[in-house]
Amino acid sequence: TPTDPRVVEAMLPYFTKQYGNPSSIYKLAQEAHEAKEVAREKVARILRAKPEEVVFTSGGTEADNLAVKGVAYANREKGNHIVTSQIEHHAVLNVCKWLETQGYEVTYLGVDKYGLVNLEELRKAITARTILITIMQANNEIGTIEPISKIGEIARERGIYLHTDAVQTVGKIPIVVDELGVDLLSLSAHKFHGPKGVGALYIRRGTRVAPLIHGGHHERNRRAGTENVPAIVGLGKACAIALEEGEEETRKVKALTERLRKGILDRVDDIIVNGHPEHRLHNTLNVCVEHVEGESVLLNLDMAGIAASTGSACASGSLEPSHVLSAIGVPPETARGSVRFSLGKGTTRADVDFVLEALPPIVEKLRAMSPLGKLNH
C-alpha cells in the first residue's frame, strides 16, 4: 500500500527535529521515547490489547520469527512440537522448516478447497509435546480467513500457545485479541498504509518468549536495538487512521473487489476464483486464468500500467506453482495461470474498469500464442 501522506507527515519530524535516542535521558530523547509510547498505545488500541503487550519489530517477518522461534526456544523443556498449516506465509513456514533441523517436530495441517484448516484434524494433531499452534488469520494469496477464535478455544483447552500471523488483517478487519484467543499476533505497517520495515508482535502478558536479538534492554528485553522511532510513529499513525476510517474503506473496497470479480467472470471464460466465497478478505481477488501463464498475464498488465501479482510477491520469480494453490488442490497447470489483484483505499471504480478493459484482450492474445493455449490443446 502507498504510505498515507498523513503518516508521512507524522513521521517527518522524527528524522530531523525530534531525533533523540529514546533510551537517553535528555529532553529531546524523552520526547522521542514519549512518541514511541504513544505509538505503542495506538497499536494496542487497534488490537484491543495492552500497550505493554506490544513489541516493535522490523516487520511481519521478524514478528513471525520472534513468535515461533521465541516460543519454541523458551518452552523447549515443555515440548518440541508445533502445529501449523501448509498455507502459511514463508515467514512462518520457513521458520518451522528450520526448527525441524533443530530438533523440533512440526505438523503441517492440510486445508480444504477453500483454504480452511479442519478443526478436527487440528485437535488430532495435538500431542502432549505440543507447545505452539501457529495459523494465519487470513491468507495473503487467496484471502481466506481462518476460524482463529475456534482454534483459540482448542488451544486454551489444551494449554497450548496460539500465534496468528495477522499481517493481512490488521488495519483491514476489526481485531480483538481476547475474542480471537491468541497469545501472539504479528502485524506489519506496510499492509495498511504505514511505512515498510516496521511491524509489531503482540505478546499476551505471561507468554514465555525468548528474544531473538540480544543486546540492550530495549522493548522490555524482548527485542534489543535502538528503536526506529520515525517508522514506529508511522505505524502508530497508520493504526489510528485504520481504526477511524477502516469501516468505510472496507465497504468501498469490498464493492470494488466484487465489481472486479464479476467483471472478470463476465468477460473472460475459463476463470477459476480461488479462496473462500464468504470467509475472505475484502481486498484480495485471486483467479486462475486457464491455459495461460500468470507471469505472462502480469507482464502484459504491467505494460498497460496495472500492478498485479501471481502467488505471493515474495515467491515470484520461482517457477514452482504456489504452495497455497497446491494445498487447496489446484492442479499445477491451472495454478500457473494464477493472477492476484489487491485493492486498497486508493483504488477507484475507474481503475477496476480499466483492468476489465485491459485483461480480456491480453488473455485472448496469450491463449492464441501459448503452448498451454486452449486452441492448441
Which residues in this chain contact ligand PLP in the complex, by CB under 6 A?
A: 59-61, 64, 89, 91, 136, 140, 165, 167-168, 188, 199, 314
- Number of residues that this document lists for the chain: 377
- Cα gap 212→208, rounded to integer Å: 13
Shorter beta-carbon distance to ligand PLP: residue 327 or 372: 327
CB of 7 to ligand PLP, least distance (A): 15
Where do we find the cell 535528555?
A: 26
CB of 196 to ligand PLP, least distance (A): 7
Dihedral angle, C-alpha 165, 110, 77, 56, nearest 10 °: -10
SS3 163: strand
CB of 137 to ligand PLP, least distance (A): 8
Residue 297 backbone phi and psi in degrees, to 5: -60, -45
CB of 159 to ligand PLP, least distance (A): 26
Shorter beta-carbon distance to ligand PLP: residue 20 or 230: 230
SS3 345: coil
CB of 189 to ligand PLP, least distance (A): 8
Give me the DSSP letters along 283-310. TEEEEEETTS-HHHHHHHHHHTT---BS
For residues 288 and 334, the answer to whether their CB atoms sit within 8 Å is yes
Shorter beta-carbon distance to ligand PLP: residue 312 or 326: 312
Shorter beta-carbon distance to ligand PLP: residue 57 or 130: 57
Shorter beta-carbon distance to ligand PLP: residue 64 or 249: 64
> Catalytic: 96?
no
- Cα gap 232→260, rounded to integer Å: 34
Give me the DSSP letters along 31-74. HHHHHHHHHHHHHHHHHT--GGGEEEESSHHHHHHHHHHHHHHH
For residues 332 and 321, the answer to whether their CB atoms sit within 8 Å is yes
SS3 253: helix
Residue of minimal CB distance from ligand PLP?
A: 60
CA atoms within 13 A on the CB side of 376: 11
CB of 35 to ligand PLP, least distance (A): 21
Shorter beta-carbon distance to ligand PLP: residue 83 or 281: 281
- Active-site positions read 314
